[in-house]
Chain A
Amino acid sequence: MHIFKHTNIDFLRWRVHALVVSWAIIIAGIAALASKGIPRGVEFAGGTVVIEQFDQVPSVQQVRAALDRNYPGGGQYSVVQSYGDPAQRQLMIRVPQVGGESGSSLSGVADQVEDALRKGGLGNFHRQGTEIVGPTVGRELTSKALLATGLSLFGILLYLAFRFQFSFGVGAVVATIHDLLITLAFLSFFRYDLTLNVIAAILTMTGYSTNDTIVIFDRIRENMRSMRRDSLRDIINASVNQTLSRTVITSGTALLTALALFFFGGEVLHGFAFTMVVGIITGTYSSVFIAAAIVSFWRGSAPTRAAAHAPATTATAPQQPQRKTTKPQRKARAS
């Protein structure tokens, strides 16, 4: 069975279009970020989250009204959402305040919220969980998250520069940054809270999106040796086409599992799964349309004769014996 059989799509022809589409989404994302921002989860913003299970679930308005009347901070900046399966009758209530940082208790606010609900006559409820984060934690986390993302990109750049060539490292990292920006844009469009789990998904995605890119780069490197007479453009197109079914199948299976998480993983993993779904789609798109295009922009579309002997010879040594035998077929098919 084949998804794609001997495709011969001129991907590089679309590189300008692809860049325009990507930039359009990214700029829209930046605009959305600038105007509305990404809602920050409690880990980053600080605040108090209480999850209550009710005998009779009140409406969001009822809860807000109860907070307005009886909670010292009012319901103005609170977030009230149903939590998990509706059959569980659970509500998540989040208020921006935290109790006094020092001293033995942060959970005063949680008690105040419960008091307000009780006075609002919302029936019986039981506390299922709380999450209380002081204001300093978020600042630290933000800088740590940025640092971790930056370092992991830098690590990948170094590794690829070592295994391939610098231009390939740049291509992969630019493609990954592209994926990051697109994912952030979608998080902002769909108003998902930026939580620790989402950051974890974003970091995973940086690793994942380079995977696809590496597979294509590997093929480009291989073809650079067997297709010496062809232009870089032809080599890149041939390589993307040859790996196309693999790229689509893997993204497909990864997407299937991410969707399973999205639909069945429960409330906590919702943002995580959403980020993964977006990340997998944009990661696939960027490895096909962006990464290789960056390499060709970087090196110009000159014939690769000069560049072909540049790939790190030490690293590819184990593959060489086989390569000789298949060279003629490979060349014939790719051109």
Chain B
Amino acid sequence: MSNIRWKIITILVVFVVFAALGVYPLVAARYGIHSPGFLMDKQLKLGLDLKGGVHLVLRVETDDALKGETDIEMERLREELQNRKITVANVSAISPTQFRVDGVPPAQDAEFRQAATEVQTNFDRGSNVNGSYTFTMKPNIAINLRDEAVVQARQTIERRVNELGVTEPSIAQQGNDQILVQLPGVTEVEKAKSIIGSPGKLELKIVEGGPSATKEALLVNGQVPDGMEIVPGASGTPGDTGTVYYMVKRAAAVTGRALRTARPSLDQNNLPAVSFTLNTEGGRRFGKVSSENIGRQLAIILDGRVQSSPVLQGKITTDGQIFGSFTQEETQNLSLILRSGSLPARMTYLEERTIGPSLGADSIRSGVISSIVGLLLVVSFMLIYYKLSGVNAVVALIFNLIILLGLMAYIGAVMTLPGIAGFVLTMGIGVDSNVLIFERIKEELEAQRGVRASINAGFSRVFWTLVDTHVSAGISCAFLFQFGTGPIRGFAVTLFIGLLSNLFTSIFVSKTLFEMALSNRQQVATLSI
């Protein structure tokens, strides 16, 4: 019967392929057998909960990005109004996406509208209420800005993690504004977190007032002058840890975006510092600003805090240095952060999980033990209850597990602890299909039909039942996958693949085994079931 031969060949090929993909690399890695790289690359990956490492969930505060955009637009409108000699009482932000202009002179109302229309393409202008206008960011612009901020943040974190040299990190967006960072094998949680979450915003601004011990001393007529802002910082005097305040222009002469590179170095007193190089465009602007302001102080502001405020001695173009009271490690981290670019918004940590390597090893051990115990229980039950046909079910079950491992390795799925649970459950639930078929065959045998006919009837009658049960289990798997993160997804994937391979083994493999057993015999009177 060549039909059977082909079925057996198909089964053997499937077996060899999946065993090579799923089982062999694990065994080879365990016992240090040298193997070709293409096989080892596909080795089933362990999740963080088994391997140990850090799992972080951060939220990107996308409001920050909107606020920044609103600030820029306010500034542009203010400049335009100055150019056109329109004097308004006040321009102020009222929410991340809204700002208000008060006291527009009635005589210049038309001109104001014209100026606003020219400058404000991203904002919708409300109507005039007693000389006040409210500008609201267009909804699609706001959505784009939020999305961009999340994407940028993810890319920045990716660069930082890559610079940290973590192997096989995983950085993924989750939901609208969350970023999931998984760092296998990392134990220095605090360092990783401070590098990932640090804004890394570098600004160079000319000092217009200060330093002064209090904010109030810098105010002009009780308020901050237009276009200026007050920034806290270290006094710079050695040994003084107090905070002083500087008044600087709101608009930065040069920002971190113009950075080409940054590296740890030493300052003139041989203390750790960070040297940076600007790109050509940034160098030209910095050259212009520095030559115009010789003798004045330049504030080097990192994440809203003045790090140092050296006096400009001459024209500086592309090279500069950030010094202050840094340790050597801090300068290394800071260089890394500056090189990878700034985050577009603040980051909030929502969740943090660290799994020490020994906890992971414990989990693997208990996972393996419960798998073996589960397998032994199921196998012995099937053999006792179904005798020789039980062998058939056991072969199908082992096939099922091998295909499951192989497919998971092939698609790059991750084995987690709940995934192992899925693996164990697949054994228990997977034999269901065999039980269903066998019980049906028994019924048919009792009805005094021949062995061959009973087997055929058993398989074909149960086929659609199997489809129905597998589809409905698949539906709950799909929602489980969509609901879960990390380990739970691993579980859902394991279960789902288990369902697929179970359909194959319980119907195709198991039936072929029966056919094989029967093909050598002409007259079959009994079946061991």
Where the two chains meet, the residues of A that have a C-beta atom closer than 8 Å to any C-beta of B are: 1-2, 51, 53, 84-85, 88, 101-107, 126-134, 136-137, 140, 144-145, 147-149, 151-152, 155-156, 159-160, 163, 196-197, 199-200, 203-204, 206-208, 210-211, 214-215, 218, 222, 242-243, 245-246, 249-250, 252-261, 263-266, 268-269, 272-273, 276, 315-316, 318-319, 322, 326, 329-330, 333
Contacts and interface: CB of A to CB of B under 8 A. Distances in A.
Contacts of A253: 377-378, 381-382, 427-429, 431-432, 435
A201 B32 CA distance: 36
Given A104-B198, A214-B468, A260-B377, A269 B348 contact: no
B460 interface: yes
Nearest to B198: A104
A319 B460 CA distance: 7
B457 A326 contact: yes
Interface of B: 49, 57, 59, 61, 175, 189-190, 193-194, 197-198, 346, 348-356, 358-359, 362-363, 365-367, 369-371, 373-374, 377-378, 381-382, 384-387, 417-418, 420-422, 424-425, 427-429, 431-432, 435-436, 439, 442-444, 447, 449, 457, 460-461, 463-465, 468-469, 471-480, 482-484, 487-488, 491-492, 495
A200 B366 contact: no
A208 B418 CA distance: 16
Given A257-B424, A260-B424, A269-B366, A204 B476 contact: yes
Given A84-B362, A257-B377, A204 B425 contact: yes
B425 A206 contact: no
B197 A104 contact: yes
Contact of B464 (A127, A260, A315): A315
A210 B474 CA distance: 11
A107 B189 contact: yes
A83 to B, nearest CB: 9
Given A204-B476, A211-B469, A215-B469, A266 B363 contact: yes
B220 to A, nearest CB: 32
Given A156-B476, A159-B471, A257-B428, A130 B377 contact: no
Given A147-B483, A250-B431, A318-B463, A107 B439 contact: no
A133 B351 contact: yes
A276 to B, nearest CB: 7
Contacts of A269: 366, 370, 417-418, 421
A132 B190 CA distance: 13
Contact of B428 (A255, A266, A318, A329): A255
Contacts of B447: 326, 329-330, 333
A132 B468 contact: no
B333 to A, nearest CB: 12
Nearest to A133: B351
Contacts of A159: 468, 471-472, 475
A137 B436 contact: no
Contacts of A131: 352-354
10 contacts: A102-B349, A131-B353, A132-B351, A159-B472, A204-B476, A211-B472, A256-B377, A257-B427, A261-B424, A326-B457
